[in-house]
Amino acid sequence: MRGFDSYLTFQKLEVFCTVVELGSVTRAADRLCIAQPVVTAHVRSMEARLGYALVRRSGRNIALTEAGERIYRWATEVITRTREVERELAGLESGEMGNAVVATSMSVGSYALPPLLLDFHRLHPDGLVTVEISNPQGAVDATRMGTCDFAVILLAVGQDLDGLTTLPLWEDDLVLVCSPSSPWASLPLADLDVHQMPFVSTPRNMPRRELEESLLRRQGFEQRRVVIELGHPEAMKHAVRQEVGVSFMFASAVRAEIARGELQVLARPDLSMKVPIYLVHREDKRFSAFQTQLVQFILSRAVPVSVP
């Protein structure tokens, strides 16, 4: 083994860890927005410098060798701690009293989380809280890699939580909504036929979509007619108001529209469910004093969300 030195750059470690996490050079290249040969060259350079093979082929994917497992654990720790220190130093340079980066998903980050963070800001105006919105899987990845301090998300079915701590916050109601002027609004609830109604939904393979499908399967509805797939709750609400179809939405996302009479809940108990929201962080995460205050504040202020 030739040793750890300047040839093992931070960029090489990031590329290597991304290949491992995605199990593919191609997917890593897409994620990092660099050419596939560049990704391969970085991994091969690390192997040449260390004197050990780090990855091997496993079908169409990449798997780690024993040496690769050890290097991956070390590299992950280096990347995580480096990013944390960078954020702390950036805060000192700008005169902040502390900073925290929170990863979250679209609905949670757009509706449920901001009021909590605004209340926290009023108590700690000299600190900086940054919210990064992606999707639950992206938020979990960011938490693992240290690009955020913790995540506030719903968890996908079968979510890999190895090495993570999950703290329950609140339950958001997933409710079925329609336009008050739509034909479904005037039907008796017992007469609503899921097989006949057009649905506005999220794209496939998103946790929200999986929740909807699991709810319907539990009620014996194996098939439904999705007429449009939209990736943002505001776009979904617009489509519902235009009577394109009905849609499952989080209560926190539609409270205002329901109060104004722009949307109506189709309040069939079998077509609603409570979705738990969690605060997720690495088991070995070392929070700063400011971050600890933020976590404790969110835990203390988290309350159930329900439809008016």
DSSP symbols for 223-267: --EEEEE-SSHHHHHHHHHTTS-BEEEEHHHHHHHHHHTSSEE--
Tokens of 14: 């990031």
Query: Which residues does the chain have with pLDDT short of 70?
Result: 1-7, 87-96, 157, 303-308
Rounded Cα distance between 177 and 30, Å, is 37
Judge whether 112 and 170 are in contact, CB under 8 Å.
yes
Q: What is the pLDDT of residues 230-260, one digit of tens each?
A: 989 999 999 999 999 999 999 999 999 999 9
**Closest to 257 measured CA to CA, from 180, 173, 172:** 180
Predicted confidence at residue 95, as pLDDT, reads 46
Predicted confidence at residue 195, as pLDDT, reads 86
Rounded Cα distance between 257 and 280, Å, is 30
Residue 16: Cβ within 10 Å count = 26
Predicted confidence at residue 90, as pLDDT, reads 62
Rounded Cα distance between 98 and 130, Å, is 11
Q: Dihedrals φ, ψ of 274, to 5°?
A: -95, 130
Predicted confidence at residue 57, as pLDDT, reads 85
Predicted confidence at residue 6, as pLDDT, reads 45
Rounded Cα distance between 161 and 167, Å, is 12
112 exposure class (CB count in 10 Å sphere: 0-12, 13-18, 19+):
buried
Rounded Cα distance between 172 and 303, Å, is 10
Residue 158: Cβ within 10 Å count = 7
Predicted confidence at residue 1, as pLDDT, reads 45
Question: Tokens 């950036």 belong to which residue?
Answer: 90
Judge whether 129 and 117 are in contact, CB under 8 Å.
yes
Measured at the alpha carbon of residue 137, what is the angle toward residues 54 and 194, in degrees to the nearest 5?
140
Predicted confidence at residue 299, as pLDDT, reads 94
